[in-house]
Amino acid sequence: MYVLGIESTSHTFGVGLVEERDGSIRILVNLNEQYTPVKGGIHPREAALHHSRVAPILIKKALKETGLKTSDLDGIAVALGPGLGPCLRIGASIARFLASYYDKPLIPVNHAVAHIEIGKFISRFKDPVVLYVSGGNTLIAIQKKGRYRVFGETLDIPLGNLFDTFVREIGLAPPYLVNGKHQLDICAEWGGKYIPLPYTVKGSDLSFSGLLTAALSKASKASSREEIGDICLSLREIAFNMVTEVLERALILSNKEEILVVGGVAANRVLMDKIEHMAKQHNSKVSGTPLEYSGDNGAMIAYTGLLLLQNNISVEPERAFIKQRWRLDEVELPWLREF
């Protein structure tokens, strides 16, 4: 069984292909192209334009690398949300076309579910506490009664967004990443002193907006590179402490023994170190997600699509609407019923 997956929820257009044979699943190909803004943040229309340009190239390349023809596929999976409307429409249009023209099942995939499922696939964890941290999301979820249940989440901005906004506002970005390293991690190296900044944890929920405002206000008064560095260092330290604390609380409250970290920020070494330190005290296992599968990618959509197809979940192309706001905890997943 072969499933092609298309990801286009935000800055990344991705194509993945997975194969299932005798019960074992393999990722055959994972091709991703990122749109990078020249200035400011992601411009949805510009990103969509980028996606429409690279889409046919990547899909053809994926098929060529695997030696498959479109007619060999058993299903077309696409991330229908959550995400940016113009970007989502590119992936959805292509997937609808492929599914109806080649008469293949069209599989609707929730982007957040896909991040978690690919993380579980790689870590081989069965029932973890999940921390999903990226530019668009910061949440903690557990599996319960057929769904991922949100245990805690940000009440305002996501963690990745906090970092991106801060480095942009102080004039360091774009580019947000330099050789795979975030600008915040780079400027944190300039400093060495920890300064107090707001720390807002509400039970298992978080709030980063006060931290951002305070850090920006301090940065506007900073007069040297070292001072900016101190702010970056402290901002990162406090934000990661907050995340680690709520994760620890969720781990204890839910009585789980595994921690899975997914999403773009899962590749951050400083965060993973903190989480590993915390987990050690509770004899819990931790798994991050390798860079290739932690950021937005096509393989995670293909893989989750395969799981859904095995459970006979598909959608008629004319009813495959994009959902810009499609919450993780809305999605019924048959394989989570046992939890």
Q: Helix 85-101 vs helix 44-66: angle between axes, to the nearest 10 degrees? A: 30
The reply to whether 205 sits in an annotated binding site is no
Instruction: For residue 141, give the 3-state DSSP assignment.
Output: strand
For position 115 contacting other proteins by CB under 8 A, the verdict is no
Q: Give the whole-angstrom CA distance, residue 94 versus residue 78.
A: 9
Tell me which residue of 148, 177, 149, 150 sits closest to 163, measured CA to CA: 177
Site string for other proteins, 32-71 (x = CB under 8 A): ----------------------------------------
DSSP class of residue 317 equals: G
To 10 degrees, the CA torsion angle through 162, 167, 169, 172?
A: -170
- Residue 246 in marked binding region: no
Is residue 82 involved in binding other proteins (CB under 8 A)? yes
Rg of the chain over all Cα atoms, to the nearest angstrom: 20
Q: Indicate the residue among 74 and 245 with the shorter CB distance to other proteins.
A: 245
Q: Which is nearer to other proteins, 137 or 297 (CB)?
A: 137
Q: Which of 79, 130, 238, 301 binds other proteins (CB under 8 A)?
A: 238
Q: How far is the CB of 157 from other proteins (least distance, A)?
A: 10
Alpha helices for the chain (secondary structure H) = 44-66, 85-101, 111-123, 159-169, 183-188, 209-221, 225-254, 269-281, 291-294, 298-310
Q: Under the criterion CB under 8 A, does residue 248 sit at the interface with other proteins?
A: yes
Q: Which is nearer to other proteins, 19 or 153 (CB)?
A: 153
Q: How far is the CB of 154 from other proteins (least distance, A)?
A: 7
Helices 225-254, 269-281: inter-axial angle, 10-degree rounding: 40
Applying CB under 8 A, does 127 fall inside the site for other proteins?
no
- Residue ranges for the known binding site for substrate are 132-136, 164, 185, 268
- Please give the residue ranges that form the binding site for other proteins (CB under 8 A): 81-82, 136-137, 139, 142, 144-145, 149-156, 158, 194, 196, 199, 201-205, 237-238, 240-241, 244-245, 248-249, 251-254, 273-275, 277-278, 280-282, 324-327
